[in-house]
Structures are given as C-alpha cells and as structure tokens.
Structure 1
Amino acid sequence: MPHVLFWQQLLPELHHESATLQSQLRAAIVGAILNGTLRQGVRLPSSRELASMLKVARNTVVLTLEQLVFDGYLIARPRSGYFVAVREDATPKLDPPPSKRTGQDTPNWSERLLDTVRGGKWLHKIADWQRYLYPFVYGQFDPNFFPVTEWRECSRLALSVGQIHDWASDAVAQDDAMLVEQLICRVLPRRGIAARPEQILLTVGAQQALFLLAEALLAPGTAIGFEEPGYMDARNIFLHRQAQIVPAKLDDQGMLPEADLTTCDYVYCTPSHQCPSGLTMTTARRMELLQIAEQHDQVIIEDDYDAETQYQGLPLPALKAIDRNDRVIYVGSMSKLISPGLRIGYIVADVQVITALRSLRRLMIRHPSSNNQRTLALFIAQGYYDKLILRTRQTLAERAQRLSDALATYWPDIEFARPGGGSVIWARLPVNIDGRRLATAALKESVLIENGDPFFYRDDQDGRYIRFGFSSIEIERIEPGIRILEHLAQGLVSSL
C-alpha cells in the first residue's frame, strides 16, 4: 500500500459547510481514478484509516466506499479491503496542445470577428467581490436571503417520477405550463397585470428578454428613447442592433417626455425602480408616456426592475397594467429576488410578438432549463415565493435605513434620496471628487462601490455619481464602510 502521506495529499480536507462529506470524498476518489492517479488494482486504506486521516465518522467513509463499489469504481474483497476496479472506459491520455501556434495556416481572428457594440460603456464587475469587507455592489447573491431549505424541497419534488415525466422531454419551443400558470395566478397580479398563456414567453433572465426584443424589433437606425442615466446593458444590446439611442433625462417624477422622445419608434424605461437611481416613476408621468405613445405610434418596453422590493407604501401598478392599447411590452425577472444564478425571466406582450419571439428563442436555446422552470413553479405554488418577498423587503428596509443614516451622519455633503424600495442608493458626490478615482482608491481599503460613469450615454456629470448597492452587504458593515469612503473622499480633495 502506498505511504500514508500519499493518501493525505490525494484526499482533500473535507469542509462541513460545503457539499456533503460523502460527496466530497466520492469526488476525490473518482477524480483520482479517472485521471489515472489511482490505477487499477491499487488497494485503498481501510475505512478506519481513511476516517482517521479525514477526521470524519467511519460510517461516512464506509457508505461512500460501498456506493463506489456499486457504481463499479471499486471492488471489495472479503478480508482484504477495497481495490480500484478495472475500467474499460478509462479516459485516454492526450498530449497537451502547444502553448503557442506558429503555423501560417492559423486564422486571422482579428479580421474575422465582427464588432459587437460600438460606443458602448460597461460596468466592471469584480468577480471575487465576496473577499471584500464592504461590498456596496448591486445584484449579487446574498446567502442570507436564499431560501435553502425551501428550494431544496422544491428541487426534490421536481425530481419525483411524475414531475420528471413532465419536464425531462425536449419541449422544443414550449415553456413549463405549471410555471406559466403560476406567473398568471400569483406573480403578475401583484403588478396589476392580467395575461393569458399565449401572451407569455420565458427567457434566460431579463437580459435575454431584451436581446430577443432587440433582434425582433430594432432594425439598424431605429430610434429608441432611453433613460439618461440608464441601464447600460440594455443600451448596449440596442446598440448591438445599431439602433439610434435618444437619451431622455430624468426629474423627480421619472423619465422626462422631452421633444426628442416623440421622434422615437420605441421607448425603454424602468419605472418601478429606475436603473441606476432607484427612482419610482409617478402615476402622472406613466400616464403621460402612454399618451405620447398613442399619439406617436410608439411601443414602450417596460423593464420592471426590482418591482417586488417596495418597502415603503404600496408599489404602483406596472405600466403594462394601465396600458389599454397593447403598446407596452413587459419584461420581468424571477432571478433578481431569488438568486441571480437562477436566470429565469419572462416577457408579456401581444400574441403576435410572443409567437415571433418564441421562434427566435428556439434558434438560440430552444427553451430555458426545464428542471429549473419546474422547481420555480413549485416554489411559487408552495407559498415560498410570497414568504421570500416579505422577508427580503424587511431586510432591505433595515439596510436602506442604516445606509441612509450613515450617509447623512458621516458624509453630510453627499446628495442622495432615501429609497422607498429596491436595493440601491444613487448619490452625487461633492464638487472636486471623481467617483472613478474614489472607486479605485476604495478597492485598496476593501470597499466596493460602483461609479456612475457607465450608466450615462453622453454626459457623465464629471464622474460625480456613484451607486451604493446594499443587497449583499451585512448590515453591521454598512456604517464603517461609509466612514472609510468619506475619509478617502476627503483625501482626494486635499490632494488636488
């Protein structure tokens, strides 16, 4: 038997807060077998020895080894122990590809690749944001929000024999009927929207919904009104189609219906919680935009951004709810509230629009993951979605209050509005402070903020805007994070 040091190096330290101990041990042994580290006929240490090395219960090891015997990775010999089994389907070893190709036949990719987005701005997202102590970022996963127990239960229900028969087949271009029904009965009524199944299309998040709409509706040169500042990913999607962006400024009621807006074929807006400011569009402004759309034969694309997280007062009905002439295409997302990684969104629109989008989606992905659709349908049907909304609202309200108080106390010369919903505060910095420089300096102090420049199509207001997200930061870290930022801002002013 190889030296015990070999096994200590081969087998990882098992983490109790990660996947189950059995699954971690199984993955380590299987990986070693498949990559050739453990060759056929090699004897494993006894279950008692493995348990001692890994500091886990012997029963955990025994159950894992017995399952690997059942699956054909190991064989058990009475009074001898466990051995690596002979496998005919072993993965062949391949020589690694050369690190650098020098041949003349290599394609010239710089000439072949088409331009994606011309003139677009992008918000840089920090991939390892979790390692920062003060992550004032928007849209990231907060494990304190995620309903682990409830989602696991619905995943288990979705894997029952009867449920699998429903979702495991290739649905081609169709959506999960149960999820569509739950949207119609439980989700859309919250926004005041009545819809039929043929008016709904499921998408891989709101992002794909916007991409599909751009592909189906925007020819090169099509004029589309767009909030300034606004959601840069939506703007870049429209620019990808070579649409003509017509910026529309904001006031305290929402998107301003300026004269240029009347020349547009389409208008994109985020009325529930405007991106990036978090502003809620007033009822009067919504009615005004609908009237302009009717007068000038426009279509409004409503991105119902963070609509479920209103924690002061009642949320206003969606634009789609008060639209009487089918001029509003509604885009919603289930990922914002439950988890960004869920990637399930939807579109509510005229039947002709949905039919065209369904064909287009089929060319791209056929349909979103069916098992996730069914799990989400069960999650809503069991009442867990409503429970999550209430808990999320309460938590966000507490964080919004703490952040607002911290800004008012420690940074009195910054301009911002206390939010009544959503999970961001959009703030204007004092004169002589550039948000881009502040964001860069803050990284060194383990503080993450989002500078406002990418949200502007034309004028970035001299870099004086930043966005504070508070959906992913622990409440006790908010105040010290703001104190650090204010100190950094004073340092930037004094260095001028």
Structure 2
Amino acid sequence: MSHPLFHLDSSRKESLQFQIREQISQAILEGHLPRDVALPSSRKLARELNVARNTVMLAYEQLLEDGFLIARERSGYFINPEILKGRADTPVRLNDIEADSLDWDERLAFKPSEQRAIEKPGDWHQYDYPFLYGQLDPEFFPTQHWRECSRDSMSVPSIRSWSVDHLNNDDPLLIEQIHQRLLPRRGVWASPEEILITVGTQQALWVSCMLLLKQGQRFAMENPGYVDMYNIASTFTDDIQLLPIDDKGMQPLESLKDCRLVYVTPSHQSPTTITLPLERRRQLLDMAETGNFLIIEDDYESESNYADNPTPALKSLDRHKRVIYVGSLSKTLAPGLRLGYMVAHPTLIREARALRRLMLRHPPTNNQRAVGLFIARGYHDSLINQMHQVMQRRFLLMRDAIQRHLPMMSTPATYGGSCFWMHGPKSLNAHRLAALAREQSILIEVGDLHFFCDRDSHRHYFRLGFSAIPESRIEAGILKLAALVPLAMEEAPSVADAETEAPETDATKTDAPETQAQPLPPQPALPTPHGASRRQRAS
C-alpha cells in the first residue's frame, strides 16, 4: 500500500483518528487495497502521516470492531473478506447502447420540474439584508434545549422504542403532545386517531389531494395563493377555481357549491398575510355544508398576531368534520426539520396513514421523539413566546420603515405574520427591483409567482420578510431598497399615473380578482413587547 493514498487535513472539524478510519474504510470498499497484504503497522503509518502512534492504533481498533479488518497474530491487520461479500462485480457490457439515446420526454408521465416554484438562494445568510419569507434567523434556534432533547432521544430506552419497525405508526409521545398541548391552543379538540404526523405540511397537502381529488372534480383556492398548493392540485385535476382576495381575505363565492375541495390559509393568508374574519369563516363552513365540499385549512403563522388574540381556527368551528387541519412544527422550530401534522376525520386519517406507508412508511421516529420531548418539557411554549416578542418588534420596525421610505407602496392592513405584501406602482417591475437589490446584498421576493392568471399585470407586487434579518439591519435595508425603486420603473410615472394608482376607495372598488390594496393603516395599540378554473373561471 502506498501511503500517499491517505491525506489528513488539519483544517477539517473531524479528528485525525476519524479521518484515518474514514479513508481506510473507503479504500477497502472501493477496492483500492489488496486483500492479502497487511496494512502498515501503526508505527509506520503514524510516521508517514506525521501523527501520534496512538491515533493510528485507535483508528485500527475501531475498524477491527466495525468488521473492516481482522487481526492475525504476529502478521498485523488485514482486510476482512467478509466485509466485501455480496458486492457485485463490474458487469460485462453486452452492448454499447448509450443511455442518452433514451427518449425521456416520451417516458416521463409527469414533469414537476416545469412547474413554477418558489426558489430561495442557499446562501441567503451571506446577504446583508435578507428580506426573505420562510427562513429563520439562526439566533432563534434553541440550540441548548434541542441538544438536550436530541441526546435524551438517544438514550437506550428511547432507542429501543423508536428503532424498531413501527410499520405506519407514529411516536406516541409526539401524538400525545399535539393532542394535549398544540391543538387546544387553536381551540381544536381531536382524538389521537384523528392525528397523523407528516413530512412537513407539504406531504399533508399532497396526501389530501391524492385521496380526495381526481380529474373532472373542481378544486378551489385563493388567488394570489400558495404556488405549491396550485402545483399539487393541478397534478390531480385541471378544474381549479381561483377565489379573489379582498381586504378581508378569501371571498367565499356562490360557485364554491360546485367544488369538491377548497384550500384556504385563514390565519395569515399566503402571501398577503390578511386574516380571514370570523364571519367569513362561518360563512365558508355553512357553504361547505350546503355545497357538500371539504376544506383544507393550512394554519401556518397562526400564533403571530401582534394586536390581539388569534382568531379561532376554522377547525375549531367545524361541527361536521369537514375541515382537514394542517399544521407545521418546522415553521417555529426549524424549516429543515420537516415535521408537520394533519387532523381530520378518523376515516380519512386511516387512509392517509395507509397512503403514507406506501410513500415512506412514516417520518423518522427518532426526530419525532426529540420533538415530542421538546414540547413535553415546555421548550416549545417558551420558544413561541420568545419568537412572538422578537417578531413583534421586527414587525413594528418594518412597518415604520416602510411608511418612512416607501410611501408610494401600499399593503393590506395586517398585524401579524412574518412578512409584508407590497403593492408598488403599476410601472414598477419587481423582477428588475429584485435583480438590482441583489447586487446591493438585498434579497426580496417577487410577487407575481403567487398569481395564477394574468401574471404580467401583477409584476408590481413583491414580498418583504423579516424573520431572517436582524433587527439592527431592517431600517438600513429598507432605505437602500427605496433608493433602487426609481431604477426599477418601466416608465417614469406621471402625476396622472400616481392618481390612477392610488389605493381604491369603497366607491371605486371593483370585483376583479386582484387583491384590493389598502394604504398602510394607522399604528394600532399593540401590546408592549416582553377563482377561475385553470382556464380562468374566476367568479
């Protein structure tokens, strides 16, 4: 064996012992070491790698314990032939047909990569002013508490509990905590058999549509709305009704009575952040009864209301179990955790559990146990309270900065959420503004992605999130962004244009499906911190 096969890197966070073990095991599995020749002695390899002999001896002992090596008395360490058993040899090529000659366009039944999708730069944290929605400031993450719960989920009794094959069942501790702690906060009372853990809310939405929708059945959702909900629904039906948004959220139209399934984000409408008032929630439930349709309630950001108590969940008003409630554990703890849950009639949950089994059995139970411990010990409640205080301060800073530096913009009245939905002059090109902003280390999100008809007429919308940006940078970021707005205009607005583009009054409002933009409201007395089808069937 030639010693240059191994190279240690002192700049890596892993120990030298780990690097030696890693490189020897990879060399064995990849066939780079002869099976019948002894590895160098620990003394020789330590001298060649310029490390302590004990470091090499510990790496060899670990490889011996893991079955990569065997020790022969007075001969040294050799590759264990058992470790390579069952590995297929390189097959003999019978022909020289190129894989690229396959007609993949003809073979693929579905191309989800061609759908419009929300994209966020992976290096967003390197920007000075990341006004992104859906990303959390790393300072929010409760590192110490999460480490404690993760460590305890790795105790011997816990491992014996979650490491066995659970078939399609979830961790009982997490189900208990959702049942007893999370759902009651939203006024939802459900039995454990009505709860299913999912890989984020995304899987809950997919499973619901796959079980309840088929071609020819009408699906209804908000416009503007959550783009991936549109993508999921369009996988199962071409008949998608788009419901317009006004200053009270989604408008429950009479045509809903012809629907099979309706999707709504009542707590903070995505993307406008408007909260659906109680009277509309009751109206929607009454229409579900008379029209015999089901409702998916995506209750994201339900806790971030900075003016008063959150409006009760739609599910809490549901007397006939027509609402499929979808919640997320990732939004408050960490987006990368990918844990959510759905609450629905036991019959639907039973079928959803069976469908989930076909897809992935169940979300990893070790993660479920760690989250269950996190909630049971009160750390989740504490995190929610801390985030509420921090996000309230950021909300006020953002609102005030927008009023000072972007007075030409209008946004629906809102007192919660983690972003502002911006409605610029019609001559504003938000795509151009986003490109200019990125050059100045500012990240914003264009808004026309969330409109599902006539996107070109909505190019002046964009979204500003405040969950990922430190408080100290909000004012400066909005000021820098405001300086770029004139450069992003497709044409210089005249006085007449400005009057035309002013927010509509009650006398000038129309029934168009576009969001009715409202000027920023007067500052509220906040607590002190501690429809169309896919063929455009619109109404």
Over residues 78-118 of structure 1, what are the superposed CA-to-partner deviations in whole Å (9 max), with x where a residue is unaligned?
xxxxx9764533698998999xx864894321101013469
In structure 2, do the counterparts of structure 1 residues 36 and 436 end up closer, same or farther at CA, with 3 Å as the change threshold?
same
Q: Which residue of 1 aligns with 2:361?
A: 366
* Partner of residue 288 from structure 1, selected from 263, 272, 283: 283
Unaligned runs of 5+ in 1: 52-57, 78-82
SS in 1 for 2:219: strand
CA–CA distance in structure 2, aligned partners of residues 75 and 311 of structure 1:
65
Q: Which residue of 1 aligns with 2:514?
A: none
Q: Which residue of 1 aligns with 2:139?
A: 144
**Does the 8 A contact of 1:14 with 1:21 survive in 2?**
no
SS in 1 for 2:170: coil
1:75-94 equivalences under 5 Å are 86-88=79-81, 89=83
* Offset, 1:494: 7.9
**Does the 8 A contact of 2:213 with 2:260 survive in 1?**
no
* Offset, 1:335: 1.1
SS in 2 for 1:401: helix
SS in 2 for 1:209: helix
- Give the TM-score normalised by the residue count of structure 2: 0.79
1:413 aligns with 2:408: yes
* Partner of residue 489 from structure 1, selected from 478, 485, 491: 485
* Offset, 1:30: 5.3
CA–CA distance in structure 1, aligned partners of residues 472 and 442 of structure 2:
14
1:423-442 equivalences under 5 Å are 423-442=418-437
Larger deviation: 226-235 or 111-120? 111-120
* Partner of residue 460 from structure 2, selected from 457, 460, 464: 464
* Offset, 1:28: 6.0
* Offset, 1:442: 2.1
Q: Which residue of 1 aligns with 2:168?
A: 173
**Does the 8 A contact of 2:248 with 2:275 survive in 1?**
yes
Q: Which residue of 2 aligns with 1:401?
A: 396
* Offset, 1:220: 0.7
SS in 1 for 2:222: strand
* Offset, 1:458: 1.1
Over residues 54-96 of structure 1, what are the superposed CA-to-partner deviations in whole Å (9 max), with x where a residue is unaligned?
xxxx99999777756755678999xxxxx97645336989989
CA–CA distance in structure 2, aligned partners of residues 206 and 44 of structure 1:
52
CA–CA distance in structure 2, aligned partners of residues 349 and 355 of structure 1:
10
Larger CA Rg, structure 1 vs 2: 2
**Does the 8 A contact of 1:14 with 1:25 survive in 2?**
no
CA–CA distance in structure 1, aligned partners of residues 196 and 363 of structure 2:
10
Percent of pairs identical after alignment? 43
CA–CA distance in structure 1, aligned partners of residues 470 and 149 of structure 2:
28
* Partner of residue 383 from structure 2, selected from 383, 388, 402: 388
- Amino acid across the alignment from 2:9: P
Report the number of matched residues.
Answer: 480
- Give the TM-score normalised by the residue count of structure 1: 0.86
SS in 2 for 1:267: strand
* Offset, 1:386: 0.8
In structure 2, do the counterparts of structure 1 residues 66 and 439 end up closer, same or farther at CA, with 3 Å as the change threshold?
same
**Does the 8 A contact of 2:447 with 2:461 survive in 1?**
yes
* Partner of residue 349 from structure 1, selected from 344, 351, 357: 344
Q: Which residue of 2 aligns with 1:234?
A: 229
Over residues 209-265 of structure 1, what are the superposed CA-to-partner deviations in whole Å (9 max), with x where a residue is unaligned?
010011100011211221110001011100000241111111222111123333322
* Offset, 1:374: 1.1
- Amino acid across the alignment from 2:397: R
Q: Which residue of 2 aligns with 1:80?
A: none
- Amino acid across the alignment from 1:45: A
SS in 1 for 2:271: coil
**Does the 8 A contact of 2:25 with 2:68 survive in 1?**
yes
- Amino acid across the alignment from 1:471: S
1:182-193 equivalences under 5 Å are 182-193=177-188
* Offset, 1:295: 2.0
Q: Which residue of 2 aligns with 1:54?
A: none
Q: Which residue of 1 aligns with 2:499?
A: none
In structure 2, do the counterparts of structure 1 residues 47 and 119 end up closer, same or farther at CA, with 3 Å as the change threshold?
closer
Larger deviation: 412-421 or 349-358? 412-421
Q: Which residue of 2 aligns with 1:473?
A: 469
